[in-house]
Structure 1
Amino acid sequence: MSWALDKVILSPDSARLFRREELPRRGTIFAEIGFGNGDFLLNLASARRDALCVGIEVSLTSLLKAARKVLRGGIDNVKLLNGDGSFLLREFFLPERVEGVFVNFPCPWPKKRHSKRRLINSLFADNLAGALKIGGFFELASDEKWFVDEARGCLLENKALEVGEIQRNLGGPIGTKYEQKWISLGKSIYRLRATKVSFFRTTSIVDWEEVALDINKEMPKGWQMGKLGFMTNKAGGDDRFKWAFKDAFLGDDGTGLLQVITADDGFQQKFYVRVIPRENSVLIKLDDASTVYRTPAVKGAFKALAEEIGKL
């Protein structure tokens, strides 16, 4: 079954093709952020076979488990993305096309030092408003009232969203494992619904058209691949777009491999760049085993590496 997983899971490369060729032809689109075991998403997709249901999840384990469930169930209207939900709301979906977004029992990150990890903030509200069609909705469910209160305040900051009052113990049409668990323990469930009522758009930062990241750099005099190790722990960028070079490896074939970590508005990607010596130049290219969204930080990392190689 593993060979068929790419029919369900969209890598950055396959997401580019799907976004260009399939999304414009789809009618109703739903998204669930943080789908966990995938039961809610699959039940939604089964109930709405006319709709495309997109699941977004940071856990690779959850992603693979859900993909296998989709394949076993023969459900053909589900696609899965691995990554930050707020970022992918803005970047993957075409503007103002999503009918509904669901977030069910996300981790509230209650400790103050972890507050930046909470999904719903002012940036999320803007990205949500940009993705939803007018009349589209957002639904949040949680067993933590303070978290829902905070989320409501964030959503109210975007005037394109009409935010309802928090509802207590109002059952949803499709249940989840966590909901059943908390109810069995006697805990209250809090729900929040917001509707998009006016025009609002955001600006995408992913280059969905560019494919190659290759840079051919003139080889400096006295260049040796061993110098690539000097790039370890070098970093750059600005407040929004950051990159850092980590471990460097030298291959028996004379090529170098450098691990890179980038962050765009908090969306992190890890990948490898291969450095290949040629007769009078050095080719800098994305390693064949890596796939990335072409973001400003990724492009910045390639440019910075080329500049640094010129100095080594």
Structure 2
Amino acid sequence: MSTNTHTDIPAAAEGSEPGPAPDSPANPADSAADPTTTPPHIRSFVHRRSHITPGQKEALDRLMPLWALPYRATPLDLQRTFGRDAPTILEIGFGMGETTEAIAATRPGDNFLGVEVFNSGVGALLKRIEASGLQNIRIVQHDAVEVVRDMLAPQSLAGVHIYFPDPWPKARHHKRRLVQPPFIELLASRLAPGGYIHCATDWENYAQQMLAVLQGEPSLCNTCEGYAPRPEYRPQTKFETRGLRLGHGVWDLIFTRKN
């Protein structure tokens, strides 16, 4: 998922994959005037230059066949993908993979499917997988909206993590934010009953939008009154610690799929 530059998930600020043009429409209504075009969706990344280290490049070349899955417009068999039948958590925008690795290590009974577009982040997580010996992480390097729509069957997920997505702070860019009603509706349809969506952001305005969007999805229920305390499984990153020390806020939201 696209992410901001001051967390441990800096993919959107560092990636080099193609994304929408700066003035491209971000919702179907923007394309309504041209019935011959396919309405675009909000992409989980933007075009920005990236630096990839030799080690990350080597990991991409050597380890992608072991731990990454190609994008295909057909639902995954998750049991076959992970070699076992276990709850699967989708993480959108894992950045450099520090949080993904930490959570997967503390929750060995769960499977983690990470979606990221940027080579630097994918290479970094591949290196972490090899160094840690973790067996419960798989990667899809592709746009998150298309992965959820095409590769994940309804009610196939136990949870979704969206940590520090790109906040698009300027008001005119808010339509590009990932957490919008259509995408949350799609994500909710992929959750099994009782499954959860966990979002975190350090932008108060985005937190307010997330809360409104999640509360507006009728199939979801808030686990708290408003925002949630940071759960133990989500580690506090060094960037988050620094921000809190400087007086910046961090907001977590955890909603579950109704039975």
TM over 0.5: yes
Distance 1:121 1:165 in 2: 21
Mark the CA change 1:42 to 1:57 in structure 2 (over 3 Å): closer, same or farther: same
How big is the shift at 1:18? 5.5
Is this contact kept in 1: 2:71–2:141, CA < 8 A? no
Distance 2:102 2:239 in 1: 15
* 2:166 corresponds to which of 100, 107, 117: 107
Aligned equivalent of 1:75: 134
Larger-Rg structure: 1
Aligned equivalent of 1:232: none
Aligned equivalent of 1:202: none
Is this contact kept in 2: 1:86–1:128, CA < 8 A? no
> Which structure has the highest strand share of the two?
1
1:166 aligns with 2:166: no
Aligned equivalent of 1:189: 250
Distance 2:83 2:129 in 1: 23
Among all aligned residue pairs of Structure 1 and Structure 2, give the percentage whose two residues are the same amino acid: 26
Is this contact kept in 2: 1:105–1:178, CA < 8 A? no
Aligned residues: 197
Greater relative contact order (Cα 8 A, min sep 6): structure 1 or 2?
2
Aligned equivalent of 2:12: none
Aligned equivalent of 1:36: 95
Aligned equivalent of 1:60: 119
What amino acid is aligned across from residue 111 of structure 1 in structure 2? K
Distance 2:206 2:199 in 1: 10
How big is the shift at 1:14? 11
Distance 1:17 1:54 in 2: 11
Mark the CA change 1:24 to 1:113 in structure 2 (over 3 Å): closer, same or farther: farther
Mark the CA change 1:140 to 1:20 in structure 2 (over 3 Å): closer, same or farther: closer
What amino acid is aligned across from residue 167 of structure 1 in structure 2? Y
Instruction: State the Cα deviation string for residues 275-298 of structure 1 (Å, max 9, x = none).
Output: xxxxxxxxxxxxxxxxxxxxxxxx
How big is the shift at 1:161? 0.6
Aligned equivalent of 1:236: none
Aligned equivalent of 2:29: none
SS in 2 for 1:167: coil
Instruction: State the Cα deviation string for residues 85-104 of structure 1 (Å, max 9, x = none).
Output: 23322322221121111111
Distance 1:48 1:37 in 2: 19
Distance 1:146 1:101 in 2: 21
How big is the shift at 1:82? 1.7
What amino acid is aligned across from residue 26 of structure 1 in structure 2? D
Write the mapping of 1:13-24 to structure 2, written as runs, cut at 5 A. Answer: 21-22=80-81
Instruction: State the Cα deviation string for residues 32-87 of structure 1 (Å, max 9, x = none).
Output: 11111211111111112121111111322211111111112111110111223233
Aligned equivalent of 1:47: 106
Q: TM-score, length-normalised on structure 1?
A: 0.57
SS in 2 for 1:137: strand
Is this contact kept in 1: 2:64–2:126, CA < 8 A? yes
Is this contact kept in 2: 1:10–1:81, CA < 8 A? yes
Distance 2:190 2:249 in 1: 30
CA RMSD of aligned residues (A): 2.5
Aligned equivalent of 1:140: 199
How big is the shift at 1:116? 2.7
Write the mapping of 1:114-133 to structure 2, written as runs, cut at 5 A. Answer: 114-133=173-192
How big is the shift at 1:185? 2.2
Is this contact kept in 2: 1:90–1:130, CA < 8 A? no
Distance 1:188 1:85 in 2: 26
Instruction: State the Cα deviation string for residues 106-145 of structure 1 (Å, max 9, x = none).
Output: 1110113322321100111111111111001111111112
